[in-house]
Structure 1
Amino acid sequence: MGEGEGNGVRDWVEERWMEMGCREHVDFMVGCWALWEHRNKVIFDAREVDPHAVLKRVEDVVDEMEGGGFLVSRNGRRGRENTAAEVVAGWEVPLADFVKINVDAGVKEGVGVSAGVVCRDERGKVLWGLSMVQDLAWEAHLAEANAVFEGVREAARRGHSRIVVESDCLAVIDAIKKKAKGRSMFSLHLDHIVFLCNSFVSVLWSYTRRDNNMIAHSLAHSLDSVVGRVEWADVLPPIANNAVIFDSRLIY
């Protein structure tokens, strides 16, 4: 495509963008993200993609965002430990001198559990990220607790002193805040997390909605069926990069 043709496409998109309403803007951005996600599955995983599955993915994500109230808050609430009732659309930057660690997990049938972690600073800049798949037969709540553990452990390894840990699993965040005790595997994970937190100056815990956690979610699913661990600095893999671009529109 020549430069003139590229400018023509850009001009057309800009004109259409100005004509769109809020819901259409969201449809467009989520659509671009979903197309890029499925394009990577075709190229890197040699998987066939059903176009109807792409459309269904867009509808599901947008419905979830709209159901929670797609409003980007500008009221200055920053760096707080969110409760479920306070969560709004948009990734919230941490306080100055803090970094935010977003985590997510997945359970892959026949493979094991996965974790995705991304660390960003007070400007929303990506500092590092990781993806991992473990050959473990754990239930979802254990996988989510493990993702938190991996995020906190990596933050400690990299020398961060003040962190906000954010997950879209309310049960795990609440259990950590309440310092829940017990003898189960889940309680053991929580004990390990609390022990690790002693190495930081300050740790805040935050629950967020799934649509505010897209980057970590993408990283949790970036390795698919490959057991192992991959780390990134500054630049994330393609499957997560589009989530970074989309998420940047919602930062407040």
Structure 2
Amino acid sequence: MVKSAYRLHEGDNPTVAEPSSWEKDKWIWSRLWKSQVWPQIKLFFWQLCHDAIATKVNLAKRVECDNTMCPMCFASLETGTHLFRDCFIAQGVWEELQLTGREEQYGIEVRDWVEGWWRDMLSLEREKIMVACWAIWEARNRTVFEGVRVRMEQIVWRVEDVLAEIAGNGEGKEVWEPHVAEAVAVAVLEGLVEAVRAGHDLIIVESDCSRVVDALKTRKTGRSSFFLVIDDILRICSSFVDVVWSHTSRINNEVAHALAHVSPGVVGKTVWIDQLPPVAEALLVLKY
């Protein structure tokens, strides 16, 4: 059914009409649907702007709901405004994405908040907000339905991964879960420690984990445990004359990938100096 863009006031001349809410906010929807993000993110964000997502407060309007508290912080009722603007998890996401300082200036409704942000923003910033809201909702659903507590920095990483994939920067790269990226960083750190002990001074580090390589190349900082490991890696690099960071594809990194799966049940680390395990040695023979 197609609705008219205009509505008449009672007693008004039938030839005179006032723009409807849709017409007044048309600029928001045109920017939303033209955004270069995934279709499911556009649809989600449209629903969010209409306060039509299944927050606990919205569900309580339709069915009996014993608990309407925010599952992320347990500090307030779970409304759209709270979950995406006021919750400390959301505020941490906006801070990490450098999108703070605007969200408190506009009304209490989600659409007021979006309108206030979007008016003076570039399209890339608008898209970042859309993806971030979608990632927050994704993390919220994992908490509610899977019992998984998603950390703020994990949401930020998810946003960065999605934006990179949308932009095409992630083409050919693996999408890494945050805990796996941290494990890769620890492996790099341990490898450099062994290189120091062996007296090496010219180092090339190759990894198929783009998150680790990018963080080391740009010396990116953060508050998560992942970045604590990155800091340790950068500090130990002062022990070498030169260190080169290189991202490589999974196909070109099969030896390291095979080594990582040699003893998955062993806790701790394993160091091979003069002889490699048979599986890695066989790959070296095939490749070189």
Question: TM-score if structure 2 supplies the norm length?
Answer: 0.38
Q: Which has the higher strand share?
A: 1
Comparing both chains, which one has the higher relative contact order based on Cα–Cα distances under 8 Å and sequence gaps of 6 or more? 1
Q: Which has the higher helix share?
A: 2
